[in-house]
């Protein structure tokens, strides 16, 4: 009996030892695999496309995490796998070293070259200003004149190729018409009105895509939640709001009057009355005229709001903040008309009736 117990105890011990060794071997295998995996991520340094020297402009926004811009690096075709970038960044502990700024990257760069570039944003900068009421064409031509882009055409091409997925207000823009002068395609023209006019600072050598991104980032910053809520309460799209704001921008020089001009637009839309806004005709013509003729008002164009009811198919310029606010927070009036107080004035007389309008129009004609 005693011998049987000893044999049983010995057998149990062998089983326990075997299990222990199996666990040790298993853990060892997992550790080895884990070490190998860590080493793989840490040592990974291949270029996505070694033979592709395409230069891609890339912006890291202030406060943006590397897990966020890793997604964009992959979407832009600079890296193949965002997870490898994220894991390698963690293992090397360089996440806090990445800097906000504009960079020029390439899929031919190795992972470590990309990471090194993203840690060095200290470069010479240049400032430029885009005035309120500029069109895409005017903006591109000014950027070219200022030496910030190689040509206006390169700017139009960058607009056509721009990835709009990272800006909520660009997702539902409708592509309808090229600009009336046929300088830019319908694909690029759908962004009319969203190149927010302001003063910007960019790194020397930044290309069109980075500049366009700056415009859109600023628009997103300016068009806040309060304005979005007001827009939604009116049942409008952001494209419609910017269209209205662009009409206000090109019609009005006084910030105080912008909400009144907005009220005229809404009042006319409410009663299905033609907007008859001269600024839309000037947009069709391209080169502004001092005075419009009856022939100008008969031009066949979807932007001719003398012949077509409702809003034009899209914005006619980039409105500033005051015009955007007026478009979502119009004054509550019964006005249907407005006319400059004099030919040298920057302010208007507003009228409810056509009779009043005619009176103010005669007043305008009789003054210098």
Residue 129: phi and psi, rounded to 5, are -130, 135
pTM: 0.75
**Chain mean position to CA 15:** 67
Residues 87/123, Cβ–Cβ less than 8 Å: no
Q: Please state, in angstroms and rounded to a whole number, the distance separating the CA atoms of residues 102 and 57.
A: 7
Rounded CA separation 360/339 (Å): 7
Fold of 56-117: Dna Ligase; domain 1 (3.30.1490)
Q: What is the DSSP letter of 105?
A: E
Q: Do the Cβ atoms of 301 and 284 come closer than 8 Å?
A: yes
pLDDT at 317: 97
Map out the domains of the chain as residue ranges.
1-43, 56-117, 123-329, 336-368
> What's the confidence (pLDDT) of residue 203?
81
pLDDT of residue 43: 76
Q: What are phi and psi of 348, to 5 degrees?
A: -120, 155
**Can you give the length of the chain in residues?**
368
Query: What pLDDT tens digit does each residue of the chain (368 aa) get?
Result: 545 555 555 555 556 555 655 555 555 454 445 455 566 777 788 888 887 877 788 889 888 999 999 999 999 999 999 999 999 999 889 999 999 988 888 898 888 889 998 998 767 789 999 999 999 999 999 999 999 999 999 999 999 989 888 899 999 888 878 888 889 999 999 999 999 999 998 888 888 998 999 999 999 999 999 999 999 999 999 999 999 999 999 999 999 999 999 999 999 999 999 999 999 999 999 888 878 899 999 999 999 999 999 999 999 999 999 999 999 999 999 999 999 999 888 899 999 999 999 999 999 988 87
**By C-alpha distance, which of 159, 204, 205, 211 is closest to 185?**
159
pLDDT for 31: 44
Per the DSSP assignment, residues forming a β-bridge with 203 are 125
Neighbours of 363 (CB within 10 A): 14
d(CA 159, CA 164): 10
Q: Which two tokens stand for residue 167?
A: 């800006």
Phi-psi region of 236 (alpha: psi -120 to 50; beta: other; left: phi over 0): beta
* The predicted structure's pLDDT at residue 155: 96
**Predicted local confidence at residue 32, as pLDDT:** 44
């Amino acid at each position: 009996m005693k011998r049987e117990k000893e044999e049983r105890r010995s057998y149990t011990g062998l089983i326990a030892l075997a299990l222990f060794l199996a666990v040790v071997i298993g853990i060892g295998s997992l550790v080895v695999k884990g070490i190998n995996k860590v080493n793989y991520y840490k040592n990974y340094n291949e270029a996505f496309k070694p033979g592709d020297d395409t230069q891609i402009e890339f912006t890291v926004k202030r406060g943006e995490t590397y897990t966020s811009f890793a997604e964009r690096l992959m979407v832009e075709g600079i890296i193949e796998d965002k997870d490898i970038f994220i894991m390698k960044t963690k293992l090397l502990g360089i996440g806090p070293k990445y800097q906000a700024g504009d960079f020029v990257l390439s899929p031919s760069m190795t992972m470590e070259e990309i990471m090194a570039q993203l840690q060095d944003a200290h470069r010479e900068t240049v400032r430029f200003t885009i005035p309120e009421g500029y069109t895409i064409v005017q903006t591109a031509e000014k950027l070219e004149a200022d030496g910030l882009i190689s040509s206006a055409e390169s700017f139009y091409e960058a607009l056509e190729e721009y990835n709009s997925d990272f800006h909520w207000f660009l997702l539902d823009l409708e592509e309808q018409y090229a600009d009336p002068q046929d300088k830019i395609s319908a694909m690029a023209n759908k962004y009319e009105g969203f190149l927010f006019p302001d003063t910007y600072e960019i790194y020397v050598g930044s290309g069109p895509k980075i500049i366009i991104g700056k415009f859109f980032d600023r628009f997103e910053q300016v068009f806040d939640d309060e304005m979005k809520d007001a827009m939604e309460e009116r049942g409008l799209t952001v494209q419609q709001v910017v269209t209205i704001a662009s009409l206000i921008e090109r019609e009005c020089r006084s910030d105080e009057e912008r909400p009144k001009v907005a009220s005229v637009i809404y009042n006319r839309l409410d009663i299905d009355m033609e907007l008859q806004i001269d600024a839309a005709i000037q947009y069709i013509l391209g080169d502004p005229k001092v005075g419009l003729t009856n022939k100008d008002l008969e031009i066949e164009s979807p932007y001719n709001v003398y012949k077509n009811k409702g809003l034009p198919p899209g914005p006619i310029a980039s409105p500033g903040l005051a015009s955007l606010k007026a478009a979502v927070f119009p004054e509550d009036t019964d006005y249907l008309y407005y006319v400059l107080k004099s030919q040298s004035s920057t302010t208007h007389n507003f009228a409810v009736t056509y009779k009043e309008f005619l009176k103010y129009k005669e007043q305008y004609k009789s003054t210098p």
